[in-house]
Amino acid sequence: MLLHTCCAPCALPIIEYLLEDKKVKNLTLYFYNPNIYPQQEYQKRLKQAEKIAKIYNLELKVGDYERNKWLNYLEKSLPNSLESYAENEERCLACFRFRLDKTAEFAKNNNFNEFTTTLSVNRFKDTAFINNYGKKLAKKNGLNYAILNLDPYKAHKKEQELVKIYNLYSQKYCGCEFS
Ligand code: SF4
b/e 122-152 (16+ beta carbons within 10 angstroms → b): beebbbebbbebbeebbeebebbbbebebeb
Residue closest by Cα to atom 1 of ligand 1: 179
Please name each of the domains of the chain with its CATH number.
2-166 (3.40.50.620)
Residue closest by Cα to atom 6 of ligand 1: 176
pTM of the predicted protein model = 0.97
* Tens place of pLDDT per residue across the chain (179 aa): 999 999 999 999 999 999 998 889 899 999 999 999 999 999 999 999 999 999 999 999 999 999 999 999 999 999 999 999 999 999 999 999 999 999 999 999 999 999 999 999 999 999 999 999 999 999 999 999 999 999 999 999 999 999 999 999 999 999 999 99
Helices in 123-167 by DSSP H: which ranges?
127-141, 152-166
Q: Which residues approach ligand 1 with their CB closer than 6 A?
A: 35, 87, 91-92, 95, 174-176, 178-179
